[in-house]
Amino acid sequence: MASSSASFAGYGGSALRLLAVLALLSATCRVEGSNLVNILKGEGQFSIFYQALLQSEELASVEGRTVLNGSSYVVFAPTDNSFRADFEPKVLTCLQQSASQKGLIVKLLNYLQITTLHTPVVNAVDLAKFAVDGRLWTVLGTPILVQQTGPASVTLFSESKAMDTVVNSVRPVDTNVTLVTLDAGLVVDDSLSEEIVVACMGGGSIPAPGVPAIPRPSIAPPRQTPTTTTVPPAAPSSSSPPRALLAGNRRLL
């Protein structure tokens, strides 16, 4: 009895090993998936971005766009540090953990994808070169502004220029697919910023017209403005940029 159970255990062990080998083989043989998605999944610096793609089910669309035919595809991938630098912890948690914010996440992710270029982007300056009137039209339908700001670097801006970030790393990763790492902050569409602030900091209620809905710069430190420059006073309308979204004092141009 004892020997038969011992041999059974031995047999079971080898069966387990066989299963492990099969699992390993099937994992290594399954090399499906674009380099883009594999990089986003594999590099720890993109964990927030990757999880957002995964949980909002936008990942399948991203994968699909990597095989777009005859066009070029650019993904702006903010690093975890960029998300943490530009979003209040409360906003980040709200976006990550509240299923009801899925629509906002999808909008944010769509703003970070460009499918309207026809020439593969191989370096940062290409982004400025291929932009139309300084604008890169995103999957969301609103533009990211782009300007060349150095011999080999460009700066991205939201339309109101409330948010900006310098592009340091541009990687062609698949045929006509380019991964742009946003490691110095991210850009968010202006009206989407407001939506996020209202949803995540305004108690989720839709404001009545004329009522200042957005918690005004409770967090943003006072900006030092040079006295020689005339800075228009912050408009009380909801069209002024939602500074509360920003965790730090991001430079405005």
Residues 170-189 that bind ligand NAG (CB under 6 A): 175-176
Residue 118 interacting with ligand NAG (CB under 6 A): yes
Q: Looking at 32-40, 94-102, 116-124, 131-139, which segment touches ligand NAG (CB under 6 A)?
A: 116-124
Q: Looking at 69-77, 91-99, 142-150, 232-240, which segment touches ligand NAG (CB under 6 A)?
A: 69-77
Residue 32 interacting with ligand NAG (CB under 6 A): no
Using CB under 6 A, pick the residue from 3, 4, 28, 69 that binds ligand NAG: 69
Residue 233 interacting with ligand NAG (CB under 6 A): no
Residue 120 interacting with ligand NAG (CB under 6 A): yes
Give least dist CB 25 to ligand NAG, A. Answer: 28
In terms of CB distance, is 7 or 119 closer to ligand NAG? 119
Number of residues interacting with ligand NAG: please give it, by CB under 6 A.
9
Residues 1-20 that bind ligand NAG (CB under 6 A): none
Q: x/- contact string, 46-65, with ligand NAG (CB under 6 A)? A: --------------------
DSSP output for the chain: -HHHHHHHHHHHHHHHHHHHHHHHHHHHH---S-HHHHHHHH-GGGHHHHHHHHHTT-HHHHHHHTT-SSSEEEEEEE-HHHHHHHS-HHHHHHHHH-GGGHHHHHHHHHHTEEEEESS---SHHHHHHHSBTTEEEBTTSSEEEEEEEETTEEEEE-TTSSSEEEE-EEEEEETTEEEEEE-S-----HHHHHHHHHHHHSTTPPPPTTS--S--SSSSPPPP--TTS--PPPPSSTTS--GGG-SS-----
Sites of contact with ligand NAG (CB under 6 A): 67, 69-70, 72, 118-120, 175-176
